[in-house]
Chain A
Amino acid sequence: MIQLIHVSKQYDRKPALSDVTLEIGKGEFVLLMGPSGAGKSTLLRMLIGAERPDEGQIFVHQKNVTTLKPSDIPYLRRKVGTVFQDFRLLPKKSVFDNVALPLLVQGISSADIRRKVTEALRAVGIEHKRDQLPAGLSTGEQQRVCIARAIVNGPVVLLADEPTGNLDPALTAEIIELFKLINARGTTVVVATHDPLVKAQVNRRVLTLSQGRLLPEERVMV
């Protein structure tokens, strides 16, 4: 599903990623761990074509992201859901409208939008807040809306960049459970985090980055 072959990237001559090679299979749940500045966000951004590597090749869902034309990048992103630490919700739009946005940009019919958004909101347990604005929600609820937006399209891959960074341990556990549920439905999930709590709760394959290099893998059997 995801393949990086000898990928390197520098910012101002400082290496962000150095010769990273990895493969993540369909339906896997992978934690991408490492301290701040290890290159986790850079790697995730490369998977959605927001950054290009200086060297190497990246494949996502059989597409070579490194050679993708800018006009094809939106179509890649429709297959890859993204969840952020800061949620990135539109403050003036209701929960429903925020979650509907990825469908709206694809020109999907109103009836299908209603159905899919309702399903996504139900999946993250926030259907009753559909008409509220993000400001009226707790941080945990906002993260759920962000996850609903990421899965509403039925993506093949879900990328989450420090999704629990703003949450307390109880909420972190809830969100991790949600990711597990999404993964159980067949979606490949990659969560970038530096939170050991998440690692303990997930108990799956862990990829560790340190100063842009991928450390030898520790595989956990479930």
Chain B
Amino acid sequence: MRTLSYLLRESWVNMRTNRTTTMVAILTTAFTLACVGIFLLLYVNLRAAAGWLQDDIRIMVYLDDRLASDSVAEVEQQLRGDRAVASLLFISKEQALGEFKAQFPSESHLLEGLGQNPLPASFVVALSPSFRSPDAVKRWADRVRQVVGVSKVDYNQDWIDALATVIRSIELVAIGIGVILSAAAATIIANTIRLTLFARRDEIAILRLIGATTGFIRIPYLLEGAVLGALGSALSLVMLKFMYELFRQQMRTTGRFAGLDNLMAFFPPSVCLALIAVGMGLGVAGSFVSIRRFGEAKA
């Protein structure tokens, strides 16, 4: 118990003695990790958006204009029997025309000029959750295209795919930047610990001579690294949350993206804790590197 309190006290003394260096290390770590956090937040939100879009996907199954009503019923029967189909809504030619006129009142004269209703009847299909992946949707659409009486199958997969490509790019950039900046954060902490080690080299030498094990000598410095990393990471989350709220506020007041701000999300508490743990890990790693270089294992 006394040993534990000694080790904790030593870590605290280390940080208090080098107050300025400690503060600078925490701040620079926080800024570095906040940069990583921005990409991570962007990535998480875009992925969530892509997920919603994918979940919300509606497939238009257009029917052949010459199809008799009993054949329409047959197609409907077939679709209803498909286990991939979660819900089905029939839109007759007349309903399609009505919707077009309602949505584009100024353009409705174009269709009136044609004499007859050119819009086909269709089914609006929503797929079951397990069939909503881009590949599954594509496979289903290809299969339904073969059904007799179906003239066209349409869905907005193209731009969902484009979004997926953007997300993949951001993912790569986030990983690249994350690795580089995490290494930078670990190096900052490593240098701080090196200063502490240098300041306390006489004490370390005495500890060695009186029979302290390598572990005993290392623990206060590893704890210091862990605390610096965790505090830096926690501070980066505070900074990110502040920027995030500011951004949301901006979106709300601009009006242009009204509603979109409600779809945005910050990291859930579990991810926040994981990020603090990552910061702590980086701190311990940085500290470990410094201790090894300092060579406290030597006599």
Interface of A toward B, CB cutoff 8 Å? 45, 48-51, 70-71, 73-78, 82, 88, 90, 101-102, 104-110, 113, 149, 153
Contacts and interface: CB of A to CB of B under 8 A. Distances in A.
Given A48-B209, A49-B299, 18 more contacts: A70-B214, A70-B297, A74-B208, A74-B214, A76-B211, A78-B211, A88-B209, A90-B203, A101-B207, A104-B6, A105-B210, A105-B211, A105-B212, A105-B213, A105-B216, A108-B2, A108-B3, A110-B2
A77 B210 contact: yes
A11 B38 CA distance: 56
B214 A102 contact: no
Nearest to A79: B211
B210 A101 contact: yes
Interface residues of B, number: 19
B203 to A, nearest CB: 6
Interface centre among B3, B202, B207, B211 (most CB of A within 10 A): B211
B206 A88 contact: yes
B263 interface: no
19 contacts: A49-B299, A51-B299, A70-B297, A71-B214, A77-B211, A88-B205, A88-B206, A88-B209, A102-B210, A102-B211, A105-B211, A106-B211, A107-B3, A108-B2, A108-B3, A109-B1, A110-B1, A110-B2, A149-B210
Interface in B182-228: 202-203, 205-214, 216
A86 to B, nearest CB: 10
Contacts of B209: 48, 50, 77, 82, 88
Nearest to A102: B210
Closest 7 CB pairs of A and B: A50-B299, A78-B211, A77-B211, A105-B212, A102-B210, A110-B2, A74-B211
A90 B216 CA distance: 17
Interface string B280-299: 00000000000000000101
